[in-house]
Amino acid sequence: MQDAPDTIYSLSSLRPLRSAATSGILEQYAYVRTELGFDTCVIVAARYECNNGLPLDRDTLFSALENVISHHTALASCLVSTSVDGDEVQVRPRSWMLLPTIDLDAAVRFWDSSAGPLASVVETQLCLPFDLDVQRPLWRINVLPDGTVIFAYDHAMGDGQSGLAFHLHLLAALQTVEDKPPPHDGRIVVAPTGASLAPLLEDLIALPAPFTRVIHEVFDALNPFSRRKRPSTWTGHPVPKEPGLRVHVHILHLSAQETARVVQRCRENHATVTGALYTIAAHVLAHLLNRGGARPQYEAIDVAVATSLRRFVGVSPETICNCVSGYAALHHLPALRPPATSTSTPASASPRLPSFPWEHAQAFSATLAREAPQSPALIGVLRRLFGDDYEGFFRGQLGKQRTHSLEISNLGRVPPPFSPQPQPAIATRQGQSNATRWKIRETVFAQANGALGAALKVNVTGTPEGGVGVSVTWGAGAVDGELAEEFVMGLAEGLKELACA
């Protein structure tokens, strides 16, 4: 990734990608948070291997990227806040514009062994926001020596599953690139013919704002005795008045065999993996927050779960877009029996449970299944209460109690491999099918939003080989560092126990 000077295009050379003058609700929500310096990016990383041992070098990757970008307009666009009316330049809400060219050398960086571990690089990338005022695409790539491609992108461009879609498209494109492609000049000329973005969520589904939910949110915000505001509800430290962008990251992996065992046990007990994750996380937090006291100090946490709407609106896993809402509610922390005292038993960050509390996992799973079809109302209520004043919404949280204690985002299983798209005029393999020449071994999903987001975030994705990648992220100052580290240990212990039981 070179620190090349930014290319400045005339506004007339940037092609509007939608007939509407502004971007969509979720896109505005995301880019305003970036503009204010409250958020940075989403990351989905994947480790690539070639069966003949060839490395993922610059020319191979650039050839594959050219293919992917030529078929996905979101990767060749930027958000512009000005327009031309005659000779007058006007400032307006940002809208998507198609870039004439893309400099891959400015967007992609290849690391040597000095990069450090994956978690360290992801942590660094999550602290780097995109500059919306330069005419560059809202994504960047870092490539590690082991073939790991770290794809970072602004949330305005896509949801978590969009990052997974990018990698599956890149994987498909790599199958068509010859073993030693000719040198790539690093510059892509974007063809405007047929370029279009995915439909906006509000054009695909109704976003209702039920009167009872609006009243509930207003009452909850104004009532100083709301359950969310009680001292017995733990939400980490308050949002700082001057929030920073630093985020801490820990990464966990489950093998395909361990994941299969977890999935099997969840099915046998009528629960989902997300439900089991919540149960482990809630018991670990109850153990960490209330240990050592005769009476529990904390009784509840506010839990948020991201909900994909793709299955409800017919958007395929291949699409790069924002098609997500969420579930959020207050949940009681489970009551834990005090552990038996023993000087021979080492301390553990995870509560020792006589048996896994499947009734909790089953109930939470049933709640998510029931609430998912209603989750568009969360966006509708936000729009009803704040209109387009997202800046006021975000600034109103500064110095206040954090909204959520725990957020779980699960991208789910990795879809089957995508079919390769026709290549542009670059070197491709001829006369043979090599659908499995390149493989993805591991995947990791992480997101920032450390300033305003939940105190602790658990981000989950499957891997093509059937495993699971988990990242735990938290913003600096959102929670005590020691507690966060112990939470990671407890979550890891709980997952391993569940996989080995």
Domain boundaries, the chain: 11-194, 202-413+445-500
The CATH architecture annotation of domain 202-413+445-500 reads 2-Layer Sandwich (3.30)
Distance in Å from the first CA to the final CA of the chain: 46
Strands 88-98 and 15-16, by their bridges, are antiparallel
Question: Could you check whether 11-194 and 202-413+445-500 share the same CATH topology?
Answer: yes
Phi, psi of 51 (to 5 degrees): -70, -10
Note down pLDDT in tens along the chain; length 501 residues: 655 555 555 555 677 777 655 689 999 999 999 999 999 999 999 999 999 889 999 999 999 999 999 999 999 999 988 654 545 555 568 889 999 999 999 999 999 988 899 999 999 999 999 999 888 999 999 999 999 999 999 999 999 999 999 999 999 999 999 988 999 999 999 887 677 899 999 999 999 999 888 887 877 776 666 777 788 999 999 999 999 999 999 999 999 999 999 999 999 999 999 999 999 999 999 999 998 766 788 999 999 999 999 999 999 999 999 999 999 999 999 987 655 544 444 556 666 666 899 999 999 999 999 999 999 999 999 999 898 899 999 999 999 999 999 999 999 999 888 777 665 544 444 434 445 699 999 999 999 999 999 999 999 999 999 999 999 999 999 999 999 999 999 999 999 999 987
Contacts of 386 (CB under 8 A, 6+ apart): 392, 393
Helix (H) or strand (E) holding 97: strand 88-98
Q: For residue 404, which amino acid is it? A: H
Check if the beta carbon of residue 142 is closer than 8 Å to that of residue 111. yes
Contacts of 84 by beta carbon, 8 Å cutoff, 6+ apart: 11, 12, 90
The CATH class that applies to domain 11-194 reads alpha beta
Q: Alpha carbon of 294 to those of 235, 341, 342, 350, 359: distances in Å? A: 21, 15, 18, 19, 26
